[in-house]
Structure 1
Amino acid sequence: MNTSSTPTHFIKNIIDEDNRSRKWNGRVETRFPPEPNGYLHIGHAKSICLNFGLAIEYDGVCHLRFDDTNPEKEAQEYVEAIMESIRWLGFDWGEHLYHASDYFDKLYEFAEYLIQQGKAYVESLPSEEIRRLRGTLTEPGINSPYRGRSVTENIDLFQRMRAGEFPDGAHVLRAKIDMASPNINLRDPVIYRIRHVHHQRTGNRWCIYPMYDFTHCISDALERITHSLCTLEFEDHRPLYDWVLDQLTDKVPCHPQQIEFARLNLTYSIMSKRKMIDLVENGLVSGWDDPRMNTLAGLRRRGYTPSAIRLFAERIGISKADSWIDMTLLEDCLREDLNERALRRVAILDPVRLVIDNFPEILEESCRAPNHPQKPELGERTLFLTKELYIEREDFMEIPSKGFFRLTPGKEVRLRYGYIIKCTDVVHNEKGEIKSIHCVYDPNTKSGTTGADSRKVKGNIHWLSAKHAHPVQIRLYDRLFSDPHPDTEQKDYKKTLNPYSKQIITGFVEPALLDTLPEQCFQFERNGYFVADRIESTPGKPIFNRAVSLRNTWAK
């Protein structure tokens, strides 16, 4: 057992104490229980890394269990997307794949048992009346007139509910606990409802489905989970979790411990699946894997790596205190990861033509550029220097501002990996826009040659030969929302959408990028980190998505 690979936190302390006391005989069994009603997002990644990570550290196992108790909103597409995202993050559940629907027979059996024990009853009030009689945080609830039904009548009604005799909403099954409890979750919660809906796994076998609070604790117990980890919003549900299992002590193999931790609150993001579905269905994004979405599928397509997301999960830590994590931390984790692994390449995103007047027309001079400046073992590639080049428009300024050290009239800069040049003329079109920049080069200043650095210049710009550069589609993605807290009740999150979150341009890239495979990442020198789109990019015709800029420029 290795418990030192990640920073310690209160959940690890609980597990360590359980192991010292032999509470579970050294066994650590966790689970990740997603609902198959949408794609996983960055908030789920925190839970995935926690549950699977603890299982790895303590030589235990982590189950993947789909909470498929609401067939109206569930789909096989979501099941497959969830499994793909977990595997992409680097985790696997092995043989421990489960579904809440695996336990529908047992759950029904336990519900009948509760009725027989006088712990549950069939409720016939409409849902609005149930809510009204439930009370408030300051006022106790009121007993339903159906609370006193006999065991025989409750069993008969419940069996007829299962048989499909009643329409949706005609009855529900409620646990009989305490309508005066200060915890509203214990005021006779609904544990079964009628839904005449086809289920993706069980078909039309069932027309009644268990509620989450009833299903989850029993599923944990049947799977012999030791530590049931969930976010803080379930803290008030823990007494119900324990109450259900306390009634079934002789029916289930164990009573897992529910432990709550703070969910991820990330700026410039929404974590509501309902709102994400709204974005997708209303065409405000191109789909669940839109690179602007904070779904794991979207982050993957954007260019995020599994190791960057795992690093992020480790750095934000696990605690009981709710807090906001700035998006910058997630972006910094990606920069840190890609800085190590991404090969360097040259791309010109906003090109302007540069002509070296004294460079021979037919000459193609090779310049050697490292694939990674800190890793010489990764070798070099060749960039061809010709008379006509493309440079970034922002690297030239006719009337330079203070502190501008790139190309300006009469001034010198170095062409990265090449020569020092001086601007001699600027040609404009009929609109007054810069059409081309004319320069001369000093043939004695080629980078890497003897004496080349004897004359220093402050500016250093990147370039591509106009003859050898290839046009490609480049998608400049930014944060989907312009407001750091779009997901609040006081705001219409749609009104905070960033109109500049996606820009499609045609840029030029060096020849080495033409055969890029989907999902290959590169650092476009001075422009950021880019990835070949995993869906639409093909070798020979790459499409590049900007994953993240080289530094945080959001505030600007």
Structure 2
Amino acid sequence: MSETSKPGNFITQIIDKDNESGKNAGVVTTRFPPEPNGYLHIGHAKSICLNFGLAQRYNGQCNLRFDDTNPEKESVEYIESIKRDVEWLGFSWKDDIKFASGYFDQLFDFAVQLIQAGKAYVCELNAEQMRDYRGTLKEPGKNSPYRDRTVEENMTIFMDMKNGKYKDGEAVLRAKIDMASPNINMRDPIIYRVRHVHHHQTGDKWCVYPMYDFTHCLSDAIEEVTHSVCTLEFQDHRPLYDWVLDTLKTFHPQQIEFARLNLNYTVTSKRKLKQLVDEKHVSSWDDPRMPTISGLRRRGYTALSIRNFCERIGVTKSDSVVDFGMLEHAIREDLDANANRAMVVLNPIKVTLTNYPEGKEEIFMVNNHPKNEAAGTREVPFGKELYIDAADFAEVPPRKWKRLTLEGAVRLRGGYVITCDEAIKDAHGEVVELRCRYDENTLGVNPEGYKPKGVIHWVSAKHAVDARVNLYDRLFNEEAPDANHEGKNFLDFINPESLTVLTNVKAEPSLVSSDKGQGFQFEREGYFCRDLVEEGIVFNRTVTLRDSWAKIEAKGK
């Protein structure tokens, strides 16, 4: 479905009205402006799809811009990961990548204009004094004792700040607005501070850096962004956004806020995600348990599934929490239609076919996908000794058991019907081998009056490939891990069973030639993806077969 044919939302309604009135001459320019201080997460994916999607819908342009105003927390690693994620999701930018740091000269000149207009002043209150003077939500702030400095004095000190004559924290430049404003963001906010730190783009040229709120709106103006789309937490910042642009009489984009993506059983605070990495609760930013785009990709989520998920949850003005099952449903839907099938035994138990000829081997041609002939077929070897999953055998079967049991028969997927005659146990009473018979007349057919109750997957013992499988589950076992839980923080809700590593896995040999990142449905086990990073035959479980969200949705209709 093209962007123009997709359903609209309240933002497209605003843009439609703008275009009808001739505002911006019908031009639509958006931007995706991440701070390069961490990896992008699923919430950013919603913003990426929205901003780039709007540009596509209106034949406009979406800029990828890094709002890199805080070099202490930023790095080139984060910049490269963000570029990778945006491209992987299927989007591209028309012009070169933009950096707010590329506008530092212009931003400094804008700050000078504010000083000269009497709209900004240098303040030397320390951080604690600044908090005291700022006031509270119920009480107005107090004017700084430095608020009435002359333009000449402010200019002299600001230039001294720029020239390195002040230490970090000794002085800041503040906008002169209203210390009694009910909106705390308007109480003479800081727009420049001293930081003697190397910048990943500008090197050591600057020792004063603009604050985010000052930088963001002016970067939008410099790029002539028509619609500055951001999440609801910036709604209270909009008066400052408008004040800066109106005071400086620049191009004035329209800021529009939408509800961010809140997903249960998940945290998306970059600070908390970084803590998970730094404290080694996960292996890395791209750990498949992380809600980062790179983590989801490594787990096996596809770009299409994430785009479909973002479209399905929609764009609204009110905050809500989305069920994680909706994201899982999106990837199941994609992989069910597009992923090839394969047979992998996660917990193997040996099966010997006692009546199968010694030394005989066969090759079965098995469909790669049950509903897609275009997916073709693959060769699956068969022999006297096999592996099946231990969970597919029960000495004392429960009610409605449809798998293998003593004296019971099942069909091997794509192969013969077998009947179990004997279970061999070790000294601990554990079943270690099954002795079975195969029926040579049942390959691909069920003789009249002879229909086994179930079908199980298997691999040939002689041809099996050793593999490792990571069974990933949700990282948190609490629905709202970062909510206010008395005496606890989000780390207390880490799921101790979020990763189970299976090392004795037996896989069909066709998987040796699979590509890294390639997704499969392992018959009767779930959807898996070959790991992007690790060497060898390593697969990550993307999601299980059961789709609880789809059942809930269907029940509600």
Q: Same fold (TM over 0.5)?
A: yes
Q: Which amino acid aligns with 2:397?
A: P
State whether residues 472 and 499 of structure 2, in contact with CA within 8 Å, keep that contact through their aligned partners in structure 1.
yes
1:454–1:382 distance in 2 versus 1, CA, 3 Å? farther
Where 1:495 maps in the other structure, the secondary structure is helix
Bigger CA drift: 484-493 or 513-522?
A: 484-493
Q: Which amino acid aligns with 1:413?
A: V
1-side partners of 2:207 and 2:262: how far apart? 37
Aligned-pair CA distance for 1:401: 1.2
The aligned runs of 1:348-427 (5 Å cut-off) are: 348-427=345-424
Determine the structure 2 residue equivalent to 1:154.
Answer: 154
The aligned runs of 1:237-256 (5 Å cut-off) are: 237-249=237-249, 252=250, 254-256=251-253
1:454–1:15 distance in 2 versus 1, CA, 3 Å? farther
The aligned runs of 1:57-136 (5 Å cut-off) are: 57-136=57-136
TM-score scaled by structure 2? 0.96
Aligned-pair CA distance for 1:553: 7.1
Alignment of 1:479 with 2:477, yes or no, is no
State whether residues 304 and 334 of structure 1, in contact with CA within 8 Å, keep that contact through their aligned partners in structure 2.
yes
Determine the structure 1 residue equivalent to 2:27.
Answer: 27
State whether residues 118 and 151 of structure 1, in contact with CA within 8 Å, keep that contact through their aligned partners in structure 2.
yes
Determine the structure 2 residue equivalent to 1:531.
Answer: 529
Cα deviation code 1:291-342 (max 9, x no counterpart): 1111111111111111111011100110011000111111110111111211
State whether residues 325 and 548 of structure 2, in contact with CA within 8 Å, keep that contact through their aligned partners in structure 1.
no
Where 1:373 maps in the other structure, the secondary structure is coil
1-side partners of 2:39 and 2:60: how far apart? 27
Bigger CA drift: 355-364 or 225-234?
A: 355-364
Identity of aligned residues (%): 55
State whether residues 112 and 155 of structure 1, in contact with CA within 8 Å, keep that contact through their aligned partners in structure 2.
yes
Determine the structure 1 residue equivalent to 2:312.
Answer: 315
Aligned-pair CA distance for 1:4: 3.6
Where 2:174 maps in the other structure, the secondary structure is strand
1-side partners of 2:301 and 2:159: how far apart? 51
Where 2:159 maps in the other structure, the secondary structure is helix
State whether residues 446 and 452 of structure 1, in contact with CA within 8 Å, keep that contact through their aligned partners in structure 2.
no
Alignment of 1:168 with 2:151, yes or no, is no
1:508 pairs, out of 492, 506, 509, with 506
State whether residues 232 and 258 of structure 2, in contact with CA within 8 Å, keep that contact through their aligned partners in structure 1.
yes
Bigger CA drift: 296-305 or 416-425?
A: 416-425
State whether residues 265 and 477 of structure 2, in contact with CA within 8 Å, keep that contact through their aligned partners in structure 1.
yes
Determine the structure 2 residue equivalent to 1:428.
Answer: 425
Alignment of 1:547 with 2:542, yes or no, is yes
Bigger CA drift: 462-471 or 222-231?
A: 462-471
1-side partners of 2:134 and 2:126: how far apart? 13
> What is the RMSD of the two structures over their aligned residues, measured on CA atoms?
1.5
Q: Which amino acid aligns with 1:407?
A: L
2-side partners of 1:534 and 1:3: how far apart? 30
Cα deviation code 1:110-152 (max 9, x no counterpart): 1111111111111111111111111111111111111111111
State whether residues 422 and 439 of structure 1, in contact with CA within 8 Å, keep that contact through their aligned partners in structure 2.
yes
The aligned runs of 1:207-218 (5 Å cut-off) are: 207-218=207-218
State whether residues 445 and 453 of structure 1, in contact with CA within 8 Å, keep that contact through their aligned partners in structure 2.
no
State whether residues 475 and 505 of structure 1, in contact with CA within 8 Å, keep that contact through their aligned partners in structure 2.
yes
Alignment of 1:461 with 2:456, yes or no, is yes
Determine the structure 1 residue equivalent to 2:555.
Answer: none
Where 1:241 maps in the other structure, the secondary structure is helix
Bigger CA drift: 424-433 or 491-500?
A: 491-500
Q: Which amino acid aligns with 2:462?
A: K
1:453–1:494 distance in 2 versus 1, CA, 3 Å? farther
Q: Which amino acid aligns with 2:356?
A: F
Aligned-pair CA distance for 1:177: 0.6
Q: Which amino acid aligns with 1:306?
A: A
State whether residues 3 and 53 of structure 2, in contact with CA within 8 Å, keep that contact through their aligned partners in structure 1.
no
Aligned-pair CA distance for 1:452: 4.0
Where 1:65 maps in the other structure, the secondary structure is strand
State whether residues 476 and 494 of structure 2, in contact with CA within 8 Å, keep that contact through their aligned partners in structure 1.
yes
State whether residues 344 and 372 of structure 1, in contact with CA within 8 Å, keep that contact through their aligned partners in structure 2.
yes
Determine the structure 2 residue equivalent to 1:335.
Answer: 332
Where 1:196 maps in the other structure, the secondary structure is coil
Cα deviation code 1:471-504 (max 9, x no counterpart): 1111111111111211224341111111111122
Counting matched residue pairs gives 546
Where 1:530 maps in the other structure, the secondary structure is strand
2-side partners of 1:288 and 1:390: how far apart? 36
Q: Which amino acid aligns with 1:517?
A: D
State whether residues 3 and 56 of structure 2, in contact with CA within 8 Å, keep that contact through their aligned partners in structure 1.
no
The aligned runs of 1:224-235 (5 Å cut-off) are: 224-235=224-235
Cα deviation code 1:19-67 (max 9, x no counterpart): 1011111100000000011111111000000000110111000001101
Q: Which amino acid aligns with 1:477?
A: Y
1:410–1:553 distance in 2 versus 1, CA, 3 Å? farther
Bigger CA drift: 274-283 or 363-372?
A: 363-372
Determine the structure 1 residue equivalent to 2:520.
Answer: 522
2-side partners of 1:281 and 1:5: how far apart? 44
